[in-house]
Amino acid sequence: MATHDLRRHLDEAALAIATEAQQLVGSTDAERRLPDSMFRSIATSGLFRQLVPPQLGGPDRSPLEWFRCGMALATFDSSLAWVVTQGASELGWMTVGGDPSWAADVLEDPLAASASTVAGLGTALIDGDDAVLTGRWGFDTGCQGATWIGGLTLMVDPKASSEELDLRICWVPADRATIIDDWDTLGLRGTGSHSIAIDAQRLSAAWTVNPSAPTSNEYGPHRVIVGNGNWPINFSVAAVQLGTARRALDLVRPMLESKSGHVSGIRLIERGWVQQRLTALEGLWMAAAASAERELESMWAQAVATGELSSNQRVRNATAASTANTLAVQVVDGVCELAGASISSAASPIGRCLRDVQTLRGHVSTCNEVMELCTAKAHGLAEFPWLV
């Protein structure tokens, strides 16, 4: 599959946004964020609402359609793709898993966007029907364009007798959070994944979602967006990594057709070892993408039939997404091997692909620990973690 095949999954508005993002990569790298105008375009185009259920006005898109959109966006710019796939995941689970009246209020804003993170742990001291929230978190992608900001929080009830931990994702309106300007990375610079802080303030109980508990809200198959593993995030990683790897493969082809070996003088594309390596990299990409898409289709069929996911499907989701991440990085590494010194320039498009995939490869949702948890669950060695 070539880049142009992926891009057929973008509608006219998404294609225009992606084209602009590609043209602005220099400035978004320097500013370490997407411009406000682009956030508005993303929101009004519906890209952030891809996983919002149709009962709440969403477009009734399947996770596979959302995933393909993310891959396609990454063939233009990885930072844009990460902001969109993450943002769509978050607006999906906060509206699916949250209080229905709160969800309606959130979605009434045409610019509605969420930025939340599990990189840190806040504290919410329950006080009657509300709570007092305090916390600081890292890696809050898209926080500059969000209307709601939050993070993973420990709910503390002084009157409770149970010692069971109550972990929820809590949000506040964006103007009640502080963005800490600390995102200065090798790749994905345009995502603006800064740290955020919320000083002690009252939190409505409605502004929380338990990520490990299935929702009681009746939204058909969209119920599985929350409380059925962390697939919206680990497949976000897979989509961006695979789209970036696709971009690298397509960038290296014309280079190999025009560049000759210093010793032989033969065009690189005519060398057998180059042909073999390039075909092998294409095969890795195809296998990774096909596996991820197959599990998303299987997952959605199960969601349509039962409204929830089996533990086996959740393990398969996490395994497919984590493997796609690993293989996408291998593909980009292989492309860089073929390109040679051509990637050494800071402005090299292939070098950008390398920086982006290396920055995202260690994401908590697809890291080695998640693969360990998958194996432990598959062999009956551990209880089911919500990260899977």
Tokens 């291998």 belong to residue: 330
Q: Which two tokens stand for residue 369?
A: 């620990």
* Confidence at residue 1, expressed as pLDDT on a 0 to 100 scale: 59
The DSSP code for 115 is: E
* Confidence at residue 165, expressed as pLDDT on a 0 to 100 scale: 87
Tokens 């997404």 belong to residue: 321
Pairing state between β 194-204 and 130-140:
antiparallel
* Confidence at residue 195, expressed as pLDDT on a 0 to 100 scale: 98
* Confidence at residue 376, expressed as pLDDT on a 0 to 100 scale: 86
* Confidence at residue 5, expressed as pLDDT on a 0 to 100 scale: 84
* Confidence at residue 345, expressed as pLDDT on a 0 to 100 scale: 86
How far, in Å, are 81, 195, 228 from residue 142 at the CA level?
11, 11, 24
* Confidence at residue 276, expressed as pLDDT on a 0 to 100 scale: 97
How far, in Å, are 85, 224, 234, 297, 319 from residue 313 at the CA level?
21, 12, 14, 11, 10
C-alpha 161/C-alpha 163 separation (Å) is 7
Got the DSSP string for 39-86?
HHHHHHHTGGGTTS-GGGT-----HHHHHHHHHHHHTT-HHHHHHHHH
Residue ranges of the chain with per-residue pLDDT less than 70: 1-4, 384-386
Q: Which domains are assigned to the chain? A: 3-108 (1.10.540.10), 114-209 (2.40.110.10), 228-378 (1.20.140.10)
Pairing state between β 148-156 and 114-127:
parallel
Which one-letter amino acid corresponds to residue 173? P
Contact of 205 with 130, CB cutoff 8 Å = yes
* Confidence at residue 3, expressed as pLDDT on a 0 to 100 scale: 65
C-alpha 292/C-alpha 102 separation (Å) is 33
